[in-house]
Structure 1
Amino acid sequence: MTLPVTRMRHRDIDEKHRASTPLELLFDLTFVAAIQAVVTQLAHGIESDHIAEALPNFFMVFFAIWWAWLTFTWFASAYDTDDVPYRLLTMLQMGGVLVLAAGVPAAFADGDLLLITVGYFIMRIALIAQWLRAAAQDAEGRSTALRYAAEIGFVQALWVARLFIGQELPVAWNVAIFAVLAACELAIPLWAERRGMTRWHPHHIAERYGLFTIILLGESVLAATIGVQSIVTAGDATGEFVLLAASGLALLFGIWWVYFLEPAGDGLERRRGRSFVWGFGHYFVFAALAALGAGLEVGVQSLSHHAEIDSTAVAYSIAIPVAVFLVAMQVLYRPLLGSQTVIRPATSLVGAAVVLAIPLLASVLSFATTVLLITLVVAAIIAVTVLQQRSRSAAASLGGGAS
């Protein structure tokens, strides 16, 4: 039963069967609108051959979305009291996400970051309140909580200042300032936890990241579905369209399979000190999955001749995110799991290289065929990994029997 008010203290890191709460799942749903807006805007930029203008906006806006989700997730893993004050402050953060989502089209269209900054401000103020409450009620973690609250507030003030100063600066300067402030955001946990880490739950964190991965894959499904609906409505459905739809679904299924092969919870439990690299580095995994959704939408649109770029560029809008995903998974999980990494580095890296080479055939193959080939590469990575797992299991069984 939820109590009106309870004392906020660290959760037990050894708590059995720790799982995402209904409130966390509801919180995640608010990010669906924000991610959908980013994916849609990136797809429009690719379709109109304005990728150079769309990409910086994509990376900046997606960082704001991802970082807001990440900071809530790690705080909740350590301090989720699930009482009335906690729920109300979480609702306030959810409202900030929706304001941020409303500002995505303006950010891509003319660089107007007003609504995004306001939404981000709302989320950060609520998080500061959570950390101040933790400082007041958890004596053990008070100094860490106060450092978090102070640093978040300081960096948030810089974001607000950028909103006013950036109106008079060139685009390149705005991007540079954003990069500096993003680096400041990334430094907050490193600075706040330099004398001891908050007591987050490793398996809970692994589950939360997995759920966000599923949300991103769901956005890819939604983006492709919207494109499919427009083609069917226009009566342009062909055999190539059916092949693309089937290949796209199989590709998303393969990406899901690859992600959940690695035992993230076990790695985080054994090597908590490497959680920063793993947690922060997921930006590239998540951004790649969001970009994949945009690429699939562009691919569907290209079949109805609504895209203004050539077939090779369309193929790369899918191949590059898939390759980045494969490489990022190795970069993040090899330090965390060591030799216990399920997918071998050579398997992922060779697969990524082949995926990047496939779009070179787009001029002689249909677009749907290139997507099918990319999907088959991902399937081959899974097949090789499963066979290697069986071999290792068999060898371990023989070794155990011999002993």
Structure 2
Amino acid sequence: MKKIFRALATRFQSLPPADKYVTWVVLVLAAFGVVAVYSSITFFAEMRSGGNTELFLVRHLTRVVLALSAMFVVSMIDYRILARYSRIGLLGALGLLFTVKVMGAFAEGPARWLTLGGFGFQPSDIARVALVLYVGVLLTQKQEYIKSFSRSFLPVLVWVGITVVLVGLEDLSTSAVMVMAVIVMCFIARVSTMQIGVLAMLGLLLGVGLILAEPHRAARVESFIGTNMFASTDAEYVLDRQGEGYQADQARIAFAMGGLTGVGPGKSVQRDFLPTPYNDFIFAIIAEEYGLLGALALLGAFCLLLFRGFLRIARDAPDPLGAFLATGFTTLIALYGFIHAGVSCGLLPVTGLPMPFVSYGGTSMIANGIMAGILLNISRQTNASKENT
């Protein structure tokens, strides 16, 4: 084991430097998340393990270490090598998604998780990484005829459509973010504006169809708007503030209690009322304990990540593939953070998206580490190309 760590250290020291701002943003978010999760996990631990908060803290720390280790290792692997296996990776992710659907068909309800060797994971987290990788490869390969619908846009549309549908059947919010990331990548790749509009329209129609097909999704939209629109939902439950609107109301109360500077670390009251304060509403707990200033500081970290990903790593990438991948992965990470914050403060309907590197999570945390690692590797390759010129 020591030899492995020594070899990794030697390899790391021989590589060009990576973007230090992205590295520090990820480390700060992860550290902030450990403190926030430990604070918000109390009630959950009381229900699950008799108040043993340390057990869940250790689990979260383990996942954070795994995510940071994945980021560290992937940052040393040339992203072009990863891109060579992107199609295989996406096919594997689609196979896992299909397996989840088959298992869900024989269960009492739909399933999102697979268990392998005692380890549970969500294939949708694998799919979002694999899709961006392969779309980046396709857009790079088709640059000579990027405006062609049949030769360029249609292959991208087919792969995106299959992946988004399989993910969206159980996780509409994740599929929506994936579509938005692909749209940004297509814009950077000079895809026709009309074709991008077609992709956006198809994504919107799919979203509407999936909302109409599932009453619980329709109920969330109605609760957010404040009116009953769909015949498939229970109007009384949707409009009841103790019903569908309960989570959003409790999150807004957390913001109100936090004020400008917050009630202080570990002193949250709303963690006992929000159903999943350690995951889906971690930003509300942070706003309560650290106030508006703490919430804005956290959003500032995502803004810095967005700035570095777009205007430094993607812009200065050594080749189009690097630019497309940096754009796609930056969009995925930043949108997850901004949408989570928007849900927590009542600007968006409840979605269930975790805040990257902050929320309590497993495969989503590791997937974010891999994406951040690819961003860092692109910046390494940029610095390497500068050193060789």
TM-score normalised according to structure 1 size: 0.28
Structure with max Cα Rg:
1
More helix by share: 1
TM-score normalised according to structure 2 size: 0.29
Q: Which has the higher contact order (CA 8 A, sep 6+)?
A: 2
